[in-house]
Amino acid sequence: MQSKTILVTGAAGFIGWKTAELLLKEGHFVVGIDNMNHYYDVRLKEWRKKQLESYDNFRFFEVDIENLGALKVLFDSFNFDAVINLAARAGVRYSIVNPHVYLETNAHGTLNLLELMKEKNIKKMVLASTSSLYAGQPMPFKEDLPVNTPISPYAASKKAAEVMSYTYHYLYDMDISILRYFTVYGPAGRPDMSIFRFIKWIDEGKPIQLFGDGSQARDFTYVDDIAKGTILALKPLGYEIINLGGGKNPISLKTLIEKIENLLGKKAKIDYKPFNKADMMETWADIEKAGKLLGWKPEIDIDKGLKRTVDWYLENKDWVKDISLEEGS
């Protein structure tokens, strides 16, 4: 791919960091923005940002996509070839506690970007969406399923971003690739996600907070694979919704805990909590479309990915031990 100037929103976030890093390694000029919010411990975001700032072809600005005025200054200052919108409020359970901020960031923030793209005649956006939209649908989840009944404010806000993006594709001939991610994990991952929490709790001998009986299963996908798929989606596609997931049989949380126990050489203590009705029992991606349109398939299986994640935790334990696992700001 010819060198481009690309805006990556949410660049200090988990997927944004890895996507920006791979773009920088390919020689692109990346402008990264993030509001550095405190939904989870900001020290992780600072660590990721520091990795990116070692590249000469990277610029970072603390900007919130909800702030149209600040975004306008940014769009006036750089000639972007494409926008990768990875800035989002994530987390199903916290979206029930604070739904307003989810709609503001995930829906209104996306609208701000689309409006400025229209103004500057920028035709390409890659938009992060979620497998949470498939709640209640038959598995494996295919992109053409009718996802019209989201069961959390998080999923509803992502659906709003998807349909708004279609409107701008239809009205202004924008080329928009919507990627529905399936349970992303890896080194420097989100501390509100199960894998980061399980590793830390098991290593420290603290009880795991397990919502449900552990039989719920996820299509875990390694962050490097997700970032590669995100970059491949920069190609001209028109308007497409594409799953990026592991694509194999989903793995139960019980099995996940056993694998982490083996890697750490420690047994887990489990504190069982009631299952949250906004959660999904199982996710499983049909990734045939990603293979056809993007030439993409995941390369890192759960065992290799978990080992890399545990190794990163152990190598960075001197500061990761102090990371808070509390959600919300």
What are the pLDDT digits (tens) for 141-198?
999 999 988 989 999 999 999 999 999 999 999 999 999 999 999 999 999 999 999 9
Q: How many domains does one find in the chain?
A: 1
Assign residue 144 the CATH number of its domain. 3.40.50.720
- Residue 112 has which token pair? 């701000």
Task: Give residue-wise pLDDT tens across range 217-257.
Answer: 999 999 999 999 999 999 999 999 999 999 888 999 999 99
Whether 17 shows a pLDDT value over 90: the answer reads yes
Q: Which domain does 107 fall in, by range?
A: 5-320
* Domain assignment of residue 222, yes or no: yes
In the chain, % of residues over pLDDT 90: 86
List the catalytic residues. Answer: 154
Whether 274 shows a pLDDT value over 70: the answer reads yes
* Domain assignment of residue 269, yes or no: yes
Task: Give residue-wise pLDDT tens across range 277-304.
Answer: 767 788 899 999 999 999 999 999 999 9
Can you list the alpha helix ranges (DSSP code H) found in the chain?
A: 14-25, 42-52, 68-77, 92-97, 99-102, 110-120, 153-172, 194-204, 223-232, 253-264, 288-294, 302-315, 317-320
3-state secondary structure of 231: helix
Mean per-residue pLDDT for 93-115?
93
Supply the pLDDT for residue 1. Answer: 64
Q: Tell me what the pLDDT averaged over the chain comes to.
A: 95
* Domain assignment of residue 22, yes or no: yes
Assign 20 a pLDDT band (cuts: 50, 70, 90).
Answer: very high
Mean per-residue pLDDT for 48-76?
98
* Domain assignment of residue 327, yes or no: no
Sheet containing 29-33, strands listed edge to edge, beginning at the edge strand earlier in sequence: 58-61, 29-33, 5-9, 82-85, 124-130, 175-181, 239-244
Whether 109 shows a pLDDT value over 90: the answer reads yes
* Domain assignment of residue 325, yes or no: no
